[in-house]
A and B are shown apart, each in its own frame.
Chain A
Amino acid sequence: MKVACVLVTHLPMKAELMRRPDLRDRPVIVTEGPDSKEVVLDSSPEAKGVVPGMPLQEAMSRSKAAVLLRVDASHYESVFTKMIASLCQRSPLVEKGEMGCAYVGLDGLEKMYGGETRLVASVLNAVPHNLNPRVGVAGGKFMAYVAALSGRGGQATRVSEGGTASFLRDLTVDALPMPWEDRARLRRFGIHTIGHLASMELGPIQAQFGPAGRRAWELANGRDLSPLVPHKAIDAVNEYVIFPAPTVTLDALLVATELLLGRAFARPALRSRYVRMATLEAKVMLGAPWIRGVAFRDAVGGKEMATRTLRATLDGTVLPGPLEDLGLTLSGLTGESGIQASLFSDMRRQEQLREMMRQMEVRLRAKPPVFKVKDIEPWSRIPERRQALVQFDP
């Protein structure tokens, strides 16, 4: 089995720089955890002496001028998911590893790409250059990972079948997929390199470290039979909106939810399909993201029904702080083509409105600038906060 490991180190930092180019060449620290126990998730090379897991206070004392960013896990996941989707275009067998790491099955693809070099180049080019990916190619996942880890950004490193032992020999035991405590114990036994571990008898290692020790020993000897577990893309539809100003009211959240549902159900991916799950996710000003998942008891196939259910579910929700944006993911898409509707529904009127909007769109060659007025914060003392114009989506 020939495997390529595509590794993007410091993915959170690179994902932040992709949307904030102004932070390039500046010390930046991405933090995670509750306010009182914030730790470093990632940092830019300019933030000298800062390492992941370090308490924020210590990190700030080492890099005083650093720009602090709160973790935006959904953004990083989105970048990573795009990377996986792009790799899936290159090979039918792609395993999603930990954040920033993916394994690509290369067997049988060489002829299609005109040789291994072109195939590996294609895999490397599947990831945006600003993520600076590294690729390792070997006969197993672990070797491919180690090869990628040892390589340089934008380059591929290949380990031949016979070269495994010599490649691993001088690497430290830190590269092994073992708990930190076990690696520390290996060192206490005087075993610092993978080569040293490989030269030991299996029995004593297994006696001391159990199944994890056996696995580490096998990997150190170049035996890696772990299969590639193909990534199954989740069929989902995403929509996203930014609030004109951070909002703390449920009404604004409901208006935005309705807007997003309208957009989502207008997408071709949901045509004649029903959804079973809706997930709302919002960035909270100076706080952790707010996420709420709603599973529909019966699959819903339209904006109205989904809005009613979400309204009922969100009623009484206390928001953790001012929301800056809102993302909606509809998942659990079913193949259902329809549910018998009531004879007296207003479907005909809705269809006429939809048709009118379609005609306007064709005539204007753009989305018709038709809006409706919605109450956002009708009690607000700031007039422009009371109502908003929301894109009309029948």
Chain B
Amino acid sequence: MVKNPRETPGVGAIRPLNPPVPIVVREDEHHRLETVTLGRNRLRVENTEDQWEIDEEWWRIRPTSRAYYDVLLEDGQTLTIFRDAVSGKWYQQRYE
């Protein structure tokens, strides 16, 4: 009889790709994006190039509700970030 391995489930065998990465974003009093901190660098947001929202999985205890922004930073790079409407936290994530 081969032992049932249920007691040591292989949680790590399937890993989501492109998971959200927590990031620090500063907004002004009108919720306009001011700065994004990448590593040790705090970079000014020059422009918000695109903005969209997703509301999914309403049937789960913790639904997914996010406001995404494509922002142009002062060093010229474009970054996709989102604000989790449930937790209020900011994340960086590729969105293609």
Contact = CB atoms under 8 A, between A and B. Distances in A.
Given A233-B1, A383-B95, A391 B13 contact: yes
Given A240-B9, A325-B9, A384 B17 contact: yes
Interface in A340-394: 371, 373, 380-391
B60 interface: yes
B6 A373 contact: no
Nearest to B96: A383
A243 B93 contact: no
Given A259-B14, A384-B93, A239 B1 contact: no
B47 to A, nearest CB: 22
Contacts of A238: 2-6
A244 B14 contact: yes
A383 B2 contact: no
A256 interface: yes
Contacts of B51: none
A291 interface: no
A225 interface: no
B26 to A, nearest CB: 24
Interface residues of A, number: 42
A319 interface: no
State the main secondary structure of chain B at its contact with A: loop
B34 to A, nearest CB: 25
A246 interface: yes
A243 B5 contact: no
Interface string B4-23: 11100111111111111000
Interface in B75-91: none
Contacts of B17: 373, 384, 386-389
Of B6, B12, B57, chain A has the most CB atoms within 10 Å of the CB of B6
Contacts of A239: 5
A388 B15 contact: yes
A1 interface: no
Nearest to B13: A391
A255 B14 contact: yes
A234 B1 contact: yes
A137 interface: no
Given A233-B1, A269-B2, A390 B14 contact: yes
A388 B1 CA distance: 33
Interface string A58-92: 00000000000000000100100110010010000
B32 interface: no
A49 B56 CA distance: 42
Contacts of B67: none
Contacts of A241: 9-10, 13-14
B24 interface: no
Contacts of A75: 6
Contacts of B3: 82, 85, 238
A320 B60 CA distance: 16
Contact of B10 (A240, A381, A382): A240
B38 interface: no
Nearest to A393: B13
Q: Which 7 A-B pairs have the closest CB atoms?
A: A233-B1, A387-B17, A384-B16, A389-B15, A238-B4, A381-B54, A384-B19
16 contacts: A82-B4, A235-B1, A241-B13, A327-B6, A371-B15, A373-B17, A380-B56, A382-B56, A382-B64, A383-B96, A384-B16, A385-B16, A388-B15, A388-B17, A389-B16, A391-B12
